[in-house]
């Protein structure tokens, strides 16, 4: 596809995205997130052959929130191996909200998957005794090719002051023997990793790394191929909260959203896409981001099962 054509598609995409922002609202259960400007919107698309396309608010910083679950899972798989991780956390969609504890209490003794809070808090509890938060921060900067990533202290403290639900999940995990170490330390690590400040550009770089099998643009392998395959598969089946099935059918691009308004998408073997749009739909996904990805998928034939010409 020619560059001018991609630029035109992105311009249309942002127009379509802007058209639905009014139907969404910013997250408010973490008070600091409620301060975001819901009209912000940026798309960033980095291709494996080195092209970069950007439009809108692609340099605005916001907190990564649930998208950090992708990096934490990569780290856990590389540190402890898939067998250990999936002995403790499943790989099935839960069909429940990201912060639900009903299915964990009633239907299973381990979290359904690592993309919901229970699974990610469990993953954080494995990582935390071995990897300091500073090391996690360094890793995030490296995966996202972004030295500007820092801990957003305001969002971190805002979430820590409103953490009762995640604390309940963490202690439920302890009661089921999934968390063996210090529950408060695991919870703190989890909230810190959610409070990393990124941009749509950082997310596009992370997407590109995963699209390119774990190899960064300089040709250095940062992640094992098996890790990347597993993570992309879980993003496809579980990455968009309890809207993951519909998103897989309509868009078909492994993605992960966060309540800060970020969206990370991986078009395998082709490109990474990063979006920032803090107005969320009722499931917690960026409302404009979802619409934009659907448009890009159809215009650029990016669906994982798109008919090859
Ligand atoms: N830190 C947020 C929480 O645990 C992340 C939620 C999200 O982005 O889905 O509630």
* Full DSSP string of 180-194: -S-HHHHHHHHHHHH
Q: Is the pLDDT of residue 95 over 80?
A: no
CB-side neighbour CA atoms (13 Å) of 287: 18
Is position 171 annotated as part of the catalytic site?
A: no
By CB atoms closer than 10 A (0-12, 13-18, 19+), residue 50 is exposed
Range 237-260 average pLDDT = 95
117 pocket-lining for ligand 1 (C-beta < 6 Å): yes
Residue 46 annotated in active site: no
- Residue 220 bears catalytic tag: no
Mutation pick for ligand 1 pocket among 63, 65, 120, 255 (CB with most ligand atoms within 8 Å): 65
pLDDT for res 101: 74
The alpha carbon of 306 and the centre of ligand 1 are apart by a number of angstroms equal to: 31
Is the pLDDT at 94 greater than 90, yes or no? no
Q: How many angstroms from the chain centroid is the CA of residue 178?
A: 23
Q: Within a 13 Å sphere around the CA of 71, how many CA atoms are in the beta-carbon half?
A: 32
| Mutation probe of ligand 1 site: the residue of 101, 122, 203, 258 with most atoms within 8 A of C-beta | 258
Contact 166, 119 (CB under 8 A): no
Q: In ligand 1, which atom is closest to the CA atom of 260?
A: 8
| Distance from C-alpha of 67 to C-alpha of 38, rounded to nearest angstrom | 19
Report the Cα 212 to chain-centroid distance in Å: 17
> For 35-55, what is the mean pLDDT?
97
Compute the average pLDDT of residues 194-212. 98
Pick from 139, 169, 148, 153: which is nearest to 68 by CA?
Answer: 139
Query: Separation of 66 CA from ligand 1 center, angstroms?
Result: 5
Taking the C-alpha atoms of residue 212 and residue 225, their distance in angstroms, rounded to an integer, is: 9
Give the distance (Å) from ligand 1 centre to CA of residue 42.
21
Low-confidence winner among 88-97, 181-190, 234-243, 244-253 (lowest mean pLDDT): 88-97
Q: Is 145 in the pocket of ligand 1 (CB under 6 A)?
A: no
Per-residue confidence band for 204, with pLDDT thresholds at 50, 70 and 90:
very high
pLDDT for residue 128: 96
* Beta carbon of 258 within 6 Å of any ligand 1 atom: yes
Q: What is the mean pLDDT of residues 90-106?
A: 78
Which has more pLDDT, 292 or 101? Answer: 292
Q: Which residue has the tokens 């921060």?
A: 137
Ligand 1 and 239: CB distance under 6 A: no
Instruction: Tell me, yes or no, if 156 is annotated catalytic.
Output: no
Residue 146, pLDDT score = 98
Cβ(23)–Cβ(287) below 8 Å: yes
The values of phi and psi at residue 58, to 5°, are: -85, -10
Q: Say yes or no to pLDDT of 36 above 90.
A: yes
- How much of the chain, in percent, has pLDDT values that exceed 70? 100
Cβ neighbours of 251 (radius 10 Å): 24
Q: What does the alpha-carbon distance between residue 130 and residue 151 come to, in Å, rounded to a whole number?
A: 19
Question: What's the pLDDT at 221?
Answer: 98
**Residue from 26, 27, 29, 30 to probe ligand 1 pocket by mutation (most atoms less than 8 Å from CB):** 30
The span from the CA of 79 to the CA of 81, in Å, is 6
Task: Please give the angle made by the CA atoms of 187, 189 and 194, to the nearest 5 degrees.
Answer: 95
What does pLDDT average to over the chain? 95
Q: How many beta carbons lie within 10 A of that of residue 129, not counting itself?
A: 13
Task: Give the pLDDT confidence score for residue 108 in this predicted structure.
Answer: 78
* CA 65 to centroid of ligand 1, rounded, Å: 5
Is residue 257 lining ligand 1, measured as CB closer than 6 Å? no
């Amino acid at each position: 596809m020619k560059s001018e054509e991609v630029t035109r598609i992105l311009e249309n995409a942002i127009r379509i995205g802007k058209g639905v922002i009014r139907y969404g609202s910013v997250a408010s259960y973490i008070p600091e997130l409620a301060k975001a400007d819901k009209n912000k919107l940026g798309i960033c698309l980095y291709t494996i052959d080195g092209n970069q396309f950007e439009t809108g608010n692609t340099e605005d910083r916001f907190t990564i929130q649930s998208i950090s679950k992708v990096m934490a899972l990569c780290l856990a798989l590389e540190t402890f191996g898939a067998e250990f991780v999936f002995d403790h956390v499943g790989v099935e969609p839960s069909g429940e909200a990201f912060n639900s504890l009903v299915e964990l209490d009633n239907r299973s003794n381990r979290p359904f998957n690592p993309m919901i809070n229970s699974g990610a808090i469990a993953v954080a509890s494995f990582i935390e005794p071995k990897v300091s938060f500073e090391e996690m921060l360094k890793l995030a900067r490296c995966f996202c090719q972004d030295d500007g990533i820092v801990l957003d202290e305001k969002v971190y403290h805002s979430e820590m002051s409103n953490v009762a639900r995640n604390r309940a999940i963490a202690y439920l995990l302890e009661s089921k023997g999934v968390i063996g170490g210090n529950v408060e330390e695991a919870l703190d690590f989890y909230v810190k990793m959610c409070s990393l400040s990124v941009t749509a550009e950082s997310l596009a770089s992370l997407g590109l790394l995963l699209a390119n099998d774990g190899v960064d643009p300089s040709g250095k392998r940062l992640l094992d191929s098996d890790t990347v395959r597993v993570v992309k598969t879980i993003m496809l089946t579980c990455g968009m909260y309890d809207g993951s099935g519909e998103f897989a059918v309509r868009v078909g691009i492994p993605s992960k959203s966060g309540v800060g308004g970020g969206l990370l998408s991986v078009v395998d073997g082709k490109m990474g896409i990063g979006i920032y749009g803090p107005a969320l739909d009722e499931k917690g996904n960026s409302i404009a981001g979802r619409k934009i990805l659907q448009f890009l998928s159809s215009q650029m034939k990016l669906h994982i099962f798109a008919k090859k010409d």
